């Protein structure tokens, strides 16, 4: 049906033959009747994709469909929320399942859970070349800075500069290029870009940190979860056997988790699991 907003009069014999329905100043008519009985070349037809005629839709829509990562050269960052912290990354061509839309962001359920920019998703499968870049660092691995180092807010090593001392512990979140990594500073909680040469990729890997990202665990006992990575801020209480999914290993003692039952993201000590 075509929805025409008008104050026109539709009570003539010819217009009655078009099976027009009038509601206030809105007129509803089939497309075929519209073309038959109206000078439709002088009209602009608005198609409401929702199909309900109601334009008062919210910014968030629940959906369920498949999309493909369509980045050019870098991996696609997966975030904890729209414009939130980076929790993982996906390679070009990766198939994802979208479950929710919020503005320019899409919530994905698989192969990992989080939010991605909708502009980097394609409705058709994306082909990737057979050649692959060889990176000297590992996503998810922990390293220490070799010396006093400047980190940057932009991937081309420009923008705001942050100064850090030698031996500062960092975690590689994603590869911005073969010479620049997007990293997480464990002590301060800052995300920034760093030249790969700033940390020793052979000798500075921190041992004793097991990568458990993506695994599901259950709490051993009644446990506190926190809103901040240093286990401070808002405190949430959960009962024994509550199921969580580990989103990332923040440090050797703290994990960022997703509570399956309540949908909450929070920080917790990693010695609380069964």
Tallying the residues shown for the chain, one arrives at 274
The mean-pLDDT minimum among 52-56, 57-61, 67-71 falls in: 52-56
Choose among 273, 213, 212: nearest CA to 243.
273
pLDDT confidence band for 175 (50 / 70 / 90): confident
More confident residue, 187 or 9: 187
**Angle at alpha carbon of residue 149, lines to 268 and 181, rounded to 5°:** 60
197 within 8 A of 150, measured Cβ to Cβ: no
Please state, for a pLDDT cut of 90, what percent of the chain lies above it. Answer: 36
State the distance between the two ends of the chain, measured CA to CA, in whole angstroms: 58
Q: Taking 80 as the threshold, does the pLDDT of residue 31 lie above it?
A: no
CB atoms near residue 112 (< 10 Å) = 18
186 within 8 A of 209, measured Cβ to Cβ: no
Note the pLDDT of residue 199. 84
The H or E element that residue 89 is part of is strand 86-90
Complete domains list, the chain, with CATH:
2-42 (no CATH), 60-122 (2.30.30.40), 142-198 (2.30.30.40), 216-269 (2.30.30)
Note the pLDDT of residue 202. 60
Q: What does the pLDDT look like over 75-112, one tens digit per residue?
A: 899 999 998 888 888 888 899 999 999 988 999 988 88
Note the pLDDT of residue 6. 45
Q: What does the pLDDT look like over 255-270, one tens digit per residue?
A: 999 999 999 999 999 8
**CA 214 → CA 70, 211, 249, distances in Å?**
23, 9, 10
Q: Taking 90 as the threshold, does the pLDDT of residue 64 lie above it?
A: no
DSSP state of 223: E
Note the pLDDT of residue 14. 58
DSSP characters for 54-82? -----SEEEEEEEEEE--SSSPEEEESST
What distance in Å separates the CA atoms of residue 22 and residue 12, rounded to the nearest whole number?
Answer: 13
Q: Taking 80 as the threshold, does the pLDDT of residue 129 lie above it?
A: no
């Amino acid at each position: 049906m075509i929805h025409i907003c008008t104050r026109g009069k539709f009570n003539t014999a010819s217009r009655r033959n078009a099976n027009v329905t009038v509601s206030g100043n809105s007129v509803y008519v089939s497309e075929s009747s519209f073309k038959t009985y109206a000078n439709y070349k002088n009209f602009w037809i608005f198609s409401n994709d929702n199909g309900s005629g109601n334009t008062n839709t919210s910014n968030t829509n629940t959906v369920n469909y498949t999309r493909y990562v369509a980045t050019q050269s870098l991996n696609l960052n997966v975030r904890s929320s729209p414009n939130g912290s980076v929790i993982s990354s996906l390679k070009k061509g990766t198939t994802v399942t979208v479950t929710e839309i919020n503005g320019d962001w899409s919530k994905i359920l698989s192969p990992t859970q989080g939010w991605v920019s909708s502009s980097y998703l394609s409705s058709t499968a994306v082909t990737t070349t057979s050649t692959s870049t060889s990176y000297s660092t590992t996503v998810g691995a922990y390293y220490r800075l070799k010396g006093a180092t400047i980190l940057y807010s932009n991937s081309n090593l420009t923008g705001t500069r942050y100064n850090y001392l030698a031996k500062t512990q960092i975690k590689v979140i994603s590869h911005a290029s073969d010479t620049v990594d997007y990293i997480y500073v464990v002590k301060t909680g800052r995300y920034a870009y760093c030249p790969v040469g700033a940390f020793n990729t052979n000798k500075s890997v921190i041992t004793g940190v097991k990568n458990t990202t993506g695994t599901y665990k259950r709490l051993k006992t009644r446990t506190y979860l926190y809103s901040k990575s240093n286990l401070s801020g808002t405190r949430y209480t959960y009962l024994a056997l509550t199921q969580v999914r580990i989103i990332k290993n923040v440090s050797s003692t703290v994990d960022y988790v997703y509570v399956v039952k309540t949908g909450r993201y929070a920080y917790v000590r990693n010695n609380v699991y069964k």
